[in-house]
Amino acid sequence: MESAPAGAASSLSTINNNNRVSDFPAPETTLEQLFSSRSLKVTVDDGVPVAVISVQRYLSEKVFCNDQPHDPHDSYTYDVTVTDGVWRTRGVLHRSLNRLVHCNTLRPGVQIRITGCSFVYNEQRLGQGHICIEKVQCDAGARSSPFLDGLKDLGCLSVLTKHGMENVGVRDDFPLKTSSKHYLPLWNNEDPEGEQWLPPRTTPDLVLDVSSVTLLCDLESSLGYARGGPPLLVRVIHKSRLRYYGKCDIVDAKKKADYPYHAYLEVADQSGAMSLVLWSELCLDWYHSLHVGAVLYIHKYTVKDSYANRSRPQMEHHCLRVFRSKEISLNRRSTAPVLSVVPQKNLPVQWGLPDVAYRFTCRSELENLAPNTACDVIGLVTFVGRVQRIRCQGDKGPEKFWTYRWVHALDGSSQRPFILEIFSCSQPDVFHAICPMTYLVCTQMRVCPGASAPFLTSSCETQIFITGHHRGQPYVSDPRVKEFIRWTKTLKDGAVLDKTLVGGHYCYPPAPPVFTQPLHNGSVPVVLVAASDLKGALESLRYREHKRLAVQGLITAVRYVRLHPDPSEPNPDPSEPSGGEGSGEASAGTSRASTATSASEHRDVGHTKNGTGGGTAPSGVASPSITRRTTPKKRSFHRFYLTRAKMRTKRLAGGPVSPDTPEVSSSGSDSDLLDAGSTLQEGSVEPPLPDPAAEQSPPLRWESRDWSRQRGEVSTHLCGEGLQPDTLARRFSLEERSALLAWSGLPSSHWTPPDPQPGRTAPPGAGAPGAGVPGGRPPGYYHTTILGINQQVALDAAFCPVVSSADPRAEGLPLDPHGNSLLSLLSAGFLCPLGDPVTPDLPSPEEVLQTAGELEGAHLLCVLDLCHLGGDRVEVLLSKVYRVT
């Protein structure tokens, strides 16, 4: 046995020769005891309990191919900071555990147990090294770690290092494993991440020598200004998002940039407009300061031939001559530029710099714009979808994801809202704070055709601004903005609030009436895949990644499930990110998901061992005789799909009260009114509506005549868990604002202490919910079983039709009337007629299932929406079917 080193705790557990903590009763192993081991490779049977403080991502210098099997597309390494309540330390996550981050199982705030680790020294540098976390267990059901309870300042935790690694230091902004000097954001590559990105600078008064200033037109025509040249005095009229161009396996140090970023600015003077490129370290220093409308004094720049293969903003409305053959390059490597932001009061009037021009478009004018036309919009937000991700296609570099969300906004010119697809535009503080009842401005949005209504998608030059960020922006004096402000003064906030929703599944445009192969439907292409590829598609999903697939097959079983949340059920905390807390151990190349107990066994239906109903109803007839299972059973999940398993339905619930929003004023300047937002007063939180009748009514079911035979021949049955809690949008309220934003957004890479200010509680009886289903939420959904065309693979998918015009998904649907048969309902996506959310005159599920006989033997093309919701949870939705004739 090893002897305890000097300074170690007296209760130190002994470590056997095989580096395992012995089994005799002893206190739990702590981080200090783990680091005191003389061995460089340590295994702890019970694990070291720690809380995760941060998960930070950076590009690997190379992708290892001779080690344990791993995802060849995973080009990133993760540093994880953990604490045991006394010490904190930062280590590298073994890449076999990267999947835990991809699924949002290992995330800031949760508790894990480190069961295996190794200490790696840097043999080329003195006093440097790191701990590599190789095996972990994720505790089941843990919302947050008790180590973080009451912790208000992470700086009070002492930093723990191993002897010989002291020079690593306590800085958290440098990656441990590579020579890279910065971290990337956790979920995309466009947003700035870390304290190295300087905030906007306050420029002191400058004394400018404008006698030698040159014009942009001279740069376009002259060949003598390769480097240097006379100074420039220009105004920024457009600004692009950041672009990260880091690559793996760069051997030549001269080609490697410490901060591989660049951003384009379109600048203009009285002679015209030209592109300016900000490179590398200058992005960190100046990106936040060079806002649209800023006036720049530039000296010691470089003029280069313009890069033709890039996106450009549409600038016809500026009425400026645009110089495209040259561009201004600011890069510290070639020439150290001199850059200053000129205060407006010091601006030489005689230079006549052009003002920033906008092209604000009303919703009533949108149908008249040609596709790909750029426009600016302003609106009052009524719906904000959850943040989702899609993979960047066609990039030969490391794997990249784009983050985006859908937004509806009204401007008063039409009853229909703007449908906005907003991608991350290097403004994470604004992007993640978009919520209903705020005033949203989006610039340089591009028009895209939709099924029955066009939508707008962001471009590389899009900038977004919400309430609290409008002050000082050039657009506040635009006539369209002033007209919008006048309209908002006529609104009653309570009436608007009743129509606001947050989160949930949303995808636009809806699938077209006729399927063509290949089908590109908006930003998410529809790929026709074989049923045998569905399992791989599900396993490859990353957290909040959205995919849309189509598969040929038969619908062999349909079950209607009523939604009736129990008001006595405790509400889960929506401030917790949507991730699984499955217990499991993941070692080199493997991960094991958790065991879980069904949350709603009293509503579940009896199943055979193949995952279908024990009783078979006659074809085309709803079965009233259903056997209920009342004994809860534990089930083992393999990641997020089940093979020949039993299904369950999770309850939907709301969240806790969160801090309030700032008070607003009804008077002031236009920018003050924009930043003040709505004059909404706080009200009560809507409780879930109970449905006692649904508790007594069994679910309705239809099965194909051949399904009892076919299910015995199926080799793989991918069983879902029905409708997920994250699938349905929730009503927005001020009390739950912060919690709803966290629930619909992406989790941060760093844990932060909870807000010490308690949430406000509404007065008794205030804002009582009205009759009907809140927000047009459907009373139930259809649980379908899809059998592949070759009858070897089956998949369960939830179909949730639109039942009310208040549902955000109703916007843009082609509302052609249909007969409300089950097949027509699956084809159209909505119950007809789609009308008032309070008193809908719609057919009952019993009536719909009476027509299910049309599905008997029908060859269908099923469009599926897949989204990873964290842990072992995957949302599988049937969005549309086509009948193959």
Query: pLDDT for 222-260, tens place per residue?
Result: 765 566 788 999 999 999 999 999 887 665 656 678 899
Asked if residue 55 has pLDDT above 60, the reply is yes
What pLDDT does 581 receive? 38
What pLDDT does 63 receive? 53
Alpha-carbon distances, residue 842 vs 73, 825, 852 (angstroms) = 48, 12, 17
Separation CA 107–CA 103 (nearest Å): 9
Among 204-208, 616-620, 665-669, the range scoring the smallest mean pLDDT is 616-620
Among 358-372, 386-400, 819-833, the range scoring the smallest mean pLDDT is 386-400
User: Can you say how many angstroms the Cα of residue 799 is from the centroid of all Cα atoms in its chain?
Assistant: 23
Alpha-carbon distances, residue 879 vs 10, 641, 809, 874 (angstroms) = 62, 19, 11, 15
Mean pLDDT of the chain: 78
What pLDDT does 225 receive? 56
Asked if residue 529 has pLDDT above 80, the reply is yes
Q: What residues contact residue 40 under an 8 Å CB cut-off, 6+ apart?
A: 118, 119, 120
Task: Show me where the domains of the chain are located.
Answer: 31-168, 216-351, 363-502, 529-562+601-646+697-726+777-883
Return the closest-CA partner of residue 279 out of 225, 335, 218, 195.
335
The tens digit of pLDDT for each residue in 280-334 reads 999 999 999 999 999 999 988 989 889 888 889 999 999 999 999 999 999 988 7
Return the closest-CA partner of residue 789 out of 556, 608, 540.
556
Where does the pLDDT of residue 193 fall: very low under 50, low under 70, confident under 90, or very high at 90 and above? very high
Residue 166 phi, psi dihedral angles, 5° rounding: -65, -25
Asked if residue 500 has pLDDT above 60, the reply is yes
Q: Which residue has the higher pLDDT, 265 or 251?
A: 265
Among 392-406, 567-581, 732-746, the range scoring the smallest mean pLDDT is 567-581
Where does the pLDDT of residue 753 fall: very low under 50, low under 70, confident under 90, or very high at 90 and above? confident
Separation CA 785–CA 720 (nearest Å): 10
- CATH for 216-351 (2.40.50.140, 3.20.20.70, 3.90.550.10, 1.10.10.10): 2.40.50.140
Q: Where is mean pLDDT largest: 381-385, 391-395, 494-498?
A: 381-385
What pLDDT does 863 receive? 95
What pLDDT does 833 receive? 86
With residue 874 as reference, give the H or E element that holds it.
strand 873-883
Question: Can you tell me the mean pLDDT for 340-362?
Answer: 87
Which tokens hold the place of 502?
């947050």
What pLDDT does 253 receive? 59
Asked if residue 845 has pLDDT above 80, the reply is yes
What pLDDT does 477 receive? 93
Cis amide leading into 518 (omega within 30): yes
Question: Can you tell me the mean pLDDT for 472-500?
Answer: 94
Asked if residue 503 has pLDDT above 80, the reply is yes
| 3-state SS class at 828 | helix
Q: Is the dihedral of CA 470, 476, 480, 484 positive or negative?
A: positive
Separation CA 708–CA 566 (nearest Å): 34
Among 157-171, 523-537, 684-698, 752-766, the range scoring the smallest mean pLDDT is 684-698
Longest dimension (CA), the chain: 91
Asked if residue 566 has pLDDT above 70, the reply is no
Contact 780, 831 (CB under 8 A): no
Contact 588, 134 (CB under 8 A): yes
Asked if residue 104 has pLDDT above 60, the reply is yes
Return the closest-CA partner of residue 681 out of 770, 757, 763, 772.
763
Which tokens hold the place of 457?
């998608």
Separation CA 355–CA 870 (nearest Å): 47
Asked if residue 198 has pLDDT above 80, the reply is yes
Which tokens hold the place of 395?
């990039």
| Bridge partners, residue 266, by sequence | 238, 275
Return the closest-CA partner of residue 806 out of 851, 852, 773.
773
Span between the terminal Cα atoms of the chain, in Å? 75
| 3-state SS class at 364 | helix
Question: Can you tell me the mean pLDDT for 671-677?
Answer: 71
Q: Which residue has the higher pLDDT, 396 or 606?
A: 396
% of the chain exceeding 90 in pLDDT: 51
Separation CA 443–CA 463 (nearest Å): 5
What pLDDT does 57 receive? 95
* Strand 716-719 versus strand 793-799 pairing type: parallel
Asked if the domains 216-351 and 363-502 are classified in one and the same CATH topology, the answer is yes
Cis amide leading into 833 (omega within 30): yes
What pLDDT does 192 receive? 95
**CATH number belonging to domain 31-168:** 2.40.50.140
Where does the pLDDT of residue 60 fall: very low under 50, low under 70, confident under 90, or very high at 90 and above? confident
What pLDDT does 58 receive? 93
Other C-beta atoms lying within 10 Å of the C-beta of residue 835: 15
Q: Which CATH architecture has domain 363-502?
A: Beta Barrel (2.40)
Question: The tokens 């309705």 sit on which residue?
Answer: 700
With residue 536 as reference, give the H or E element that holds it.
helix 534-539
Where does the pLDDT of residue 610 fall: very low under 50, low under 70, confident under 90, or very high at 90 and above? very low
Question: Can you tell me the mean pLDDT for 482-500?
Answer: 93
What pLDDT does 451 receive? 75
Where does the pLDDT of residue 140 fall: very low under 50, low under 70, confident under 90, or very high at 90 and above? low
Type of residue found at 521: N
* Strand 501-502 versus strand 374-384 pairing type: parallel
Where does the pLDDT of residue 697 fall: very low under 50, low under 70, confident under 90, or very high at 90 and above? low
Nearest 5°: CA angle at 552, between 546 and 553?
115
| Bridge partners, residue 16, by sequence | none
DSSP classification of residue 811: T
Asked if residue 784 has pLDDT above 60, the reply is yes
Asked if residue 880 has pLDDT above 90, the reply is yes
| 3-state SS class at 675 | helix
Where does the pLDDT of residue 208 fall: very low under 50, low under 70, confident under 90, or very high at 90 and above? confident
What pLDDT does 691 receive? 46
Asked if residue 621 has pLDDT above 50, the reply is no
Contact 511, 72 (CB under 8 A): no
With residue 485 as reference, give the H or E element that holds it.
helix 479-488
What pLDDT does 91 receive? 93
Separation CA 99–CA 589 (nearest Å): 10
Question: Can you tell me the mean pLDDT for 424-428?
Answer: 95
What is the torsion angle, in degrees rounded to the nearest 10, for the CA atoms of residue 468, residue 474, residue 480 and residue 486?
40
% of the chain exceeding 70 in pLDDT: 74
Q: Which residue has the higher pLDDT, 756 or 639?
A: 756
Among 104-113, 130-139, 591-600, 865-874, the range scoring the smallest mean pLDDT is 591-600
Q: Which residue has the higher pLDDT, 154 or 53?
A: 53
Contact 333, 299 (CB under 8 A): no
| Burial category of 459 from C-beta neighbours within 10 Å (exposed 0-12, middle 13-18, buried 19 and up) | buried
SS3 content of the chain, % helix, strand, coil (to 5): 15, 30, 55
Asked if residue 465 has pLDDT above 90, the reply is yes
Which tokens hold the place of 193?
């991440």
Q: What residues contact residue 46 under an 8 Å CB cut-off, 6+ apart?
A: 21, 28, 29, 113, 115
Alpha-carbon distances, residue 787 vs 531, 646, 784, 791 (angstroms) = 8, 17, 10, 6
Among 103-107, 152-156, 745-749, the range scoring the smallest mean pLDDT is 152-156
Contact 468, 675 (CB under 8 A): yes
What is the torsion angle, in degrees rounded to the nearest 10, for the CA atoms of residue 88, residue 92, residue 97 and residue 100?
50
Q: Is the dihedral of CA 831, 832, 836, 839 positive or negative?
A: negative
Helices (H), 819-870: 822-828, 845-849
